[in-house]
Structure 1
Amino acid sequence: MDNLKQRLCFALPLIRQAGTILRGAFSLRKEGVIYRKKTETDPVTNTDIELETFLRKEILSKFPNEAFIGEESASNLERFDQDSCWILDPIDGTANFVHGIPNVAISLAYSERGQVVLGIVYNPLEEELFTAIRGGGAFLEDTPIRVSDIDNWNEAIVCTEFGSDRSSVKCSMIVENLKNILDDKIQGIRATGSAALDLCYVAAGRFDVYYEYGPHIWDIAAGSLIVEEAGGTVLHPTGSNLDLRSRGILATNQRFCKKLKFPPFWHF
């Protein structure tokens, strides 16, 4: 664990520096955000590219023989299975960033042989820093965090996201899932626009369940560890073990998980 603590100490100043860049760009957004679209509904800004370039350069300068997966550099996902790999989403919630919504996060994870062992999620606009080391607990700044103990639908806040896929199959799945949840008299449904923050909010007990079909490994790698270290459970929405490359995730507390009948959500 000492090695992981050293890596965390190395990464945190870089993440905060990247947060300063993001915060400055956000404050200037009224002058116009320069962005293009990876797909019709999936934007990428100059700030995404700037942050990834900066963090990639700093990390690989320190660890030149380690693998790196970044959202904007379209890296080979097989690198995740290597002995050491960094996984970065420079701005999770880019559409929020473009529209001036402060639900954005820098998400950085470090894995060893396909298992995430360090996670950092930082929202510099709200000044919230979530961290976890495998076996060492989860924290919001220096305060330990814990998932909720709610296990009834009518007391629970469920979070999901809609992603950028507008195919008829995906849209039908989203509508069917929402209908089923509302039929169960759920207390509330939320969507922050950031998978990384959704996971951290589950870890902090703000949300009770988060599920989504479609997130990429860089969206959920850090947050999934933070949920686990906060005492939560992360699975594929079908109930199978989580594969971070499978494009699906369910995160909740252990009591709620035991009550779910899998698959609880309609899926592809």
Structure 2
Amino acid sequence: MNKQLPEKSVIKNLEIEVTRLIRGAEQVLYQYMPGKISVSYKGKQNSDPVTEADIRIEDYLRKEISQEYPQHLIIAEESSLQNTKEDSPFTWVIDPLDGTANFASGIPVYAISVGILYEGIPIVGGLLLPSTSSNHGVYHASLGGGAFWEDQPITASLGTLPISSGVSGVPANFERLFSSKVLSKQGIREIRVLGSIAYEMTLVAKGAFQSSFFNGGRIWDVAAGIILISEAGGGVWEFTHGSWTKFSAFNDATISSDK
């Protein structure tokens, strides 16, 4: 990593700010009860749902970030890149609700996700899991500062659990992407389909999941989870051109394509 990064104190202050904003977003979320909310769809054939909660949480986060950091860029799932007046090295990446279909169905498997990139490098991440989950609370991390659930350190370790017994997250279409033989060679036998990449990445960071495999994830699905897993001692890898390479940063093309 050859890029000149911000001072540690700057990164730490951003982590504190992300944690504060996520707690505020949680209060917005409480105004919307699963099963009593309207749902619309961005995709064809009633796919890719969006709720009023998604929109209001994103509006809240955008407003707060723009007031505190007017020159920073913002990428969010429900709208486009903002604040392009200057070429800021800082980019906030927001997913107001990753796992909207679960939320709308009353299934407590979703996450509010906020990450910060510095010239494409994830430097801060925060994620909130639902209040009905035993994992409820803010998970947060900053580059070089460790990963935490609230104020308790977390580690991406299965402890004494045998690797073959570890649980791994996979996408719904995993059978088309990975053969059972490929998964078995990696010691992966127990698999789960949760419907939220951000939720799965949080479980990896805290050691509940051995791994999480996904394809087609957008930058807002993974930006916060990458730094959380990395700071918890885990690894994040990309499969490109037939081989695995360790993730280092998002390039300009990736960020631009997710405007």
TM-score bin, normalised by smaller chain: 0.7 to 0.9
How is 1:112-151 mapped onto 2 (pairs within 5 angstroms)?
112-125=118-131, 126=133, 127-148=136-157
Amino acid at match of 2:231: E
Show the counterpart of 1:37.
Answer: 42
Show the counterpart of 1:87.
Answer: 93
Decide whether the 8 Å contact of 1:16 with 1:124 is kept in 2: no
Aligned CA distance change for structure 1 residues 136 and 174 (closer, same or farther; 3 Å): same
Task: Decide which of 6, 12, 21 is 2:13's aligned counterpart.
Answer: 6
Aligned CA distance change for structure 1 residues 120 and 39 (closer, same or farther; 3 Å): farther
Distance 1:149 1:48 in 2: 33
Shift of 1:14: 2.1
Q: Secondary structure at the match of 1:31?
A: coil
Amino acid at match of 1:37: K
* Structure 2: tracts of 5 or more residues without a match: 1-7, 255-259
Decide whether the 8 Å contact of 1:23 with 1:124 is kept in 2: no
Shift of 1:124: 3.7
Distance 1:39 1:33 in 2: 18
Distance 1:101 1:113 in 2: 36
Tell me, yes or no, if structure 1 residue 212 matches structure 2 residue 239.
Answer: no
Q: Secondary structure at the match of 2:217?
A: coil
Shift of 1:89: 0.3
Shift of 1:13: 2.4
Distance 1:176 1:9 in 2: 38
Show the counterpart of 1:161.
Answer: 171
Give TM-score scaled by structure 1 length.
Answer: 0.78
Shift of 1:213: 0.8
Amino acid at match of 1:53: D
Distance 2:177 2:67 in 1: 47
Computed over aligned residues only, the root mean square deviation of the Cα atoms, in angstroms, reads 2.6
Decide whether the 8 Å contact of 2:163 with 2:210 is kept in 1: no
Decide whether the 8 Å contact of 2:167 with 2:188 is kept in 1: yes
Distance 1:96 1:159 in 2: 16
Aligned CA distance change for structure 1 residues 73 and 139 (closer, same or farther; 3 Å): same
Show the counterpart of 1:180.
Answer: 181
Decide whether the 8 Å contact of 1:110 with 1:117 is kept in 2: yes
Decide whether the 8 Å contact of 1:82 with 1:114 is kept in 2: no
* Structure 1: tracts of 5 or more residues without a match: 163-170, 248-268
Distance 1:147 1:109 in 2: 19
Shift of 1:44: 1.1
Count residues in correspondence.
Answer: 234
Show the counterpart of 2:5.
Answer: none
Distance 1:233 1:32 in 2: 37
Distance 1:140 1:233 in 2: 18
- Counting aligned pairs with the same residue, the percent is 33
Greater percentage in helix: 1
Decide whether the 8 Å contact of 1:92 with 1:106 is kept in 2: yes
Decide whether the 8 Å contact of 1:156 with 1:208 is kept in 2: yes
Aligned CA distance change for structure 1 residues 183 and 240 (closer, same or farther; 3 Å): closer
Shift of 1:32: 4.0
Higher mean alpha-carbon deviation, 62-71 vs 39-48, is at 39-48
Decide whether the 8 Å contact of 1:105 with 1:197 is kept in 2: yes
Decide whether the 8 Å contact of 2:22 with 2:138 is kept in 1: no
Distance 2:184 2:68 in 1: 52
